[in-house]
Structures are given as structure tokens and as C-alpha cells.
Amino acid sequence: MVVSFTISGEPQGKGRPRFGNGRTYTPEKTVIYENLVRMEYIRQVNHNFGDGPLAMFIEAHYTIPASASKKRQAEMREGKILPTKKPDLDNIAKAIADSLNGIAYKDDSQIVKLHMTKRYAENPCVVVGIWEAARLKKEATYER
């Protein structure tokens, strides 16, 4: 089974832990985004994969800047120009994967394959897909 869902809005990454009053805490902006991811997953999919190995893809769609020329905007739509701005892909993945712990799967350590892309789009969002890794075909691997 392959499931996918969409989180509307600009992609957000996991914020660094903060320290205060002798304790560590997650920034409020990250907590709010992780709650949004959970709510959208439950609303759109609501499936738990259990504790087996999983694969995931994440497509981060960024707003096309209004300040860009019409030519550059067209190139962004076509994928000829890609976003190199923050947040970093690894921080986006961490925010998404951590959000789904206990909801889509037991723990994000089950994710054994991850494919990610950043692109421009008319409507900013993050598209996430999850499937059982047992469905993966054998791929070429690097050997020393």
C-alpha cells in the first residue's frame, strides 16, 4: 500500500532544540508545524504501517517569488530553476518524519529509503508519500 498526503503552506524544517531554565524544549513554531503534519495525515490518510521497514518521498514546493522576472518565473515553473533556499532538505525530512511517529509508523527509524526534492510551484506545499520498503526493487549499490 502506498499512501500520500499534502501539507499546504511553505515548507518548514525542524527547529534546533532550545535551552532554558535547565531544560531542553522544541521551538513553538516547530511544535505547531508538527501538529499540522499530524492533523493532515490523520485527515487525509489515517493508516498505520506498524513496525516494518518503510520508504518515503517528500516533495517541497516553494512559492515562486513575485519579484522574479516573467522569464525566470516560467523557468521556475518548468523546473529549470530550483530553490536553493532554506530550510534544508534534511530539516524538512526531520520535521515530517518525527511528526508521524506513533501515527503512520511506530518510529521514524523504520524509514530505510528517503527521496526528496525541492521545486517551485504556484501553491506552496509539501507532498509526502509512504510505502512498505518490501515493495522496493533491488537497486544498484555502491561497493568498495
CA 104, distance to chain mean position in Å, is: 14
pLDDT of res. 141: 55
The 10 Å Cβ neighbour count of residue 128 is 27
Torsion angle, CA of 62/66/71/74, rounded to 10 degrees?
40
Residue pair 64/120 in contact (Cβ under 8 Å)? The answer is yes
pLDDT of res. 19: 74
143 inside domain: no
pTM: 0.87
Spans of the chain below 50 pLDDT = none
Residue pair 60/118 in contact (Cβ under 8 Å)? The answer is yes
Q: Which residue, 9, 102, 13, 117, is CA-closest to 56?
A: 117
Q: Quote the domain boundaries for residue 61.
A: 2-135
109 inside domain: yes
Give the CATH number, domain containing residue 27: 3.30.1330.70
141 inside domain: no
CA distance 46 to 96: 15
66 inside domain: yes
pLDDT of res. 92: 98
Q: Give the number of domains in the chain.
A: 1
pLDDT of res. 144: 57
140 inside domain: no
10 inside domain: yes
Beta strands in the chain (DSSP E): 2-8, 18-20, 23-25, 54-63, 111-121, 125-132
pLDDT of res. 28: 87
> Residue 49 has which C-alpha cell?
504501517
What is the edge-to-edge ordering of all strands in the sheet holding 125-132?
A: 2-8, 125-132, 54-63, 111-121
